[in-house]
Amino acid sequence: MSNNIPNMMLGGGAPAPIANPGAGSFNPPGNSLPGPVSNTAANSWYQAMAKAWGKVLDKQATEITDLSSQIGENGQDQPSTVTLLTAASLKMQFLSTNSATSNNAVGSALETLGRKN
Protein backbone atom coordinates (compact mmCIF):
# COMPACT_ATOMS: atom_id res chain seq x y z
CA MET A 1 0.00 0.00 0.00
CA SER A 2 1.40 3.38 -0.98
CA ASN A 3 1.70 6.33 1.38
CA ASN A 4 1.27 8.79 -1.48
CA ILE A 5 -2.11 10.40 -0.94
CA PRO A 6 -3.17 13.12 -3.36
CA ASN A 7 -4.37 16.38 -1.81
CA MET A 8 -7.86 15.76 -3.16
CA MET A 9 -8.13 12.79 -0.80
CA LEU A 10 -7.26 14.94 2.22
CA GLY A 11 -10.62 16.69 2.28
CA GLY A 12 -10.35 18.64 -0.97
CA GLY A 13 -9.16 21.86 0.62
CA ALA A 14 -5.69 20.74 1.66
CA PRO A 15 -2.94 23.25 0.90
CA ALA A 16 -0.38 22.54 -1.76
CA PRO A 17 2.83 20.81 -0.64
CA ILE A 18 5.66 23.02 0.52
CA ALA A 19 8.99 22.38 -1.20
CA ASN A 20 11.15 23.09 1.86
CA PRO A 21 8.98 22.69 4.95
CA GLY A 22 11.78 23.53 7.38
CA ALA A 23 13.18 21.88 10.46
CA GLY A 24 10.94 19.84 12.68
CA SER A 25 8.27 19.11 10.09
CA PHE A 26 7.51 15.86 8.34
CA ASN A 27 6.99 16.12 4.59
CA PRO A 28 8.92 13.30 2.90
CA PRO A 29 9.85 13.69 -0.77
CA GLY A 30 7.23 12.32 -3.12
CA ASN A 31 4.35 12.68 -0.66
CA SER A 32 1.74 15.33 -1.30
CA LEU A 33 1.20 16.24 2.33
CA PRO A 34 0.68 19.83 3.44
CA GLY A 35 3.66 21.57 5.01
CA PRO A 36 4.04 22.58 8.63
CA VAL A 37 1.13 24.40 10.19
CA SER A 38 3.21 27.53 10.70
CA ASN A 39 3.38 28.08 6.93
CA THR A 40 -0.36 27.92 6.28
CA ALA A 41 -2.92 30.63 6.87
CA ALA A 42 -6.07 29.90 8.83
CA ASN A 43 -9.26 30.73 6.94
CA SER A 44 -11.58 30.24 9.93
CA TRP A 45 -11.49 30.03 13.69
CA TYR A 46 -11.80 26.25 13.41
CA GLN A 47 -8.66 26.14 11.27
CA ALA A 48 -6.96 28.54 13.70
CA MET A 49 -7.73 26.16 16.56
CA ALA A 50 -6.35 23.20 14.61
CA LYS A 51 -3.27 25.25 13.68
CA ALA A 52 -2.65 26.14 17.33
CA TRP A 53 -2.91 22.46 18.33
CA GLY A 54 -0.52 21.60 15.51
CA LYS A 55 2.08 24.08 16.75
CA VAL A 56 1.89 22.67 20.28
CA LEU A 57 2.20 19.10 19.01
CA ASP A 58 5.13 20.04 16.74
CA LYS A 59 6.93 21.63 19.69
CA GLN A 60 6.38 18.55 21.85
CA ALA A 61 7.54 16.25 19.05
CA THR A 62 10.73 18.29 18.76
CA GLU A 63 11.34 17.91 22.49
CA ILE A 64 10.88 14.13 22.23
CA THR A 65 13.23 13.98 19.25
CA ASP A 66 15.88 15.98 21.10
CA LEU A 67 15.69 13.76 24.17
CA SER A 68 15.76 10.55 22.16
CA SER A 69 18.80 11.73 20.21
CA GLN A 70 20.59 12.40 23.51
CA ILE A 71 20.00 8.80 24.49
CA GLY A 72 20.79 7.27 21.09
CA GLU A 73 23.65 9.41 19.78
CA ASN A 74 25.31 10.68 22.94
CA GLY A 75 24.93 7.52 24.98
CA GLN A 76 23.25 9.33 27.86
CA ASP A 77 21.06 6.40 28.78
CA GLN A 78 20.99 7.48 32.39
CA PRO A 79 17.71 6.95 34.25
CA SER A 80 17.13 10.71 34.51
CA THR A 81 17.31 11.18 30.72
CA VAL A 82 15.09 8.16 30.08
CA THR A 83 12.61 9.48 32.65
CA LEU A 84 12.52 12.87 30.92
CA LEU A 85 11.89 11.14 27.60
CA THR A 86 9.10 9.06 29.12
CA ALA A 87 7.49 12.17 30.62
CA ALA A 88 7.73 14.03 27.30
CA SER A 89 6.18 11.07 25.49
CA LEU A 90 3.30 10.89 27.96
CA LYS A 91 2.78 14.64 27.59
CA MET A 92 2.64 14.15 23.80
CA GLN A 93 0.01 11.43 24.26
CA PHE A 94 -2.02 13.72 26.52
CA LEU A 95 -1.80 16.65 24.08
CA SER A 96 -2.59 14.47 21.08
CA THR A 97 -5.65 12.97 22.73
CA ASN A 98 -6.94 16.38 23.80
CA SER A 99 -6.28 17.83 20.36
CA ALA A 100 -8.31 15.10 18.69
CA THR A 101 -11.09 15.34 21.27
CA SER A 102 -11.45 19.12 20.96
CA ASN A 103 -11.30 19.07 17.15
CA ASN A 104 -13.87 16.25 17.00
CA ALA A 105 -16.20 17.95 19.49
CA VAL A 106 -16.11 21.29 17.67
CA GLY A 107 -16.43 19.59 14.29
CA SER A 108 -19.44 17.63 15.50
CA ALA A 109 -21.04 20.80 16.86
CA LEU A 110 -20.46 22.58 13.54
CA GLU A 111 -21.97 19.62 11.71
CA THR A 112 -25.05 19.79 13.93
CA LEU A 113 -25.38 23.52 13.32
CA GLY A 114 -25.04 22.95 9.59
CA ARG A 115 -27.88 20.44 9.59
CA LYS A 116 -30.23 22.78 11.43
CA ASN A 117 -29.98 25.54 8.81
pLDDT digits (tens, 9 = 90+) for 12-25: 344 444 444 444 44
Burial 100-112 (b: 16+ CB within 10 A, else e): eeeeeeeeeeeee
Helix (H) / strand (E) element for 40: namely none
Whether the CA torsion 97, 54, 27, 61 is positive or negative: it is: negative
Q: pLDDT tens digits for 43-54?
A: 888 888 989 999
**Distance between alpha carbon 64 and the CA centroid of its chain, in Å?**
13
Reply yes or no on whether the pLDDT at 90 is more than 70: yes
SS3 80: helix
Q: How far apart are CA 61 and CA 77, in angstroms?
A: 19
Q: If you average pLDDT over residues 80-104, what whole number do you get? A: 94
Please say whether the beta carbons of 71 and 88 come within 8 A: no
- DSSP structural state of residue 23: T
Phi and psi at residue 45, to the nearest 5°: -70, -30
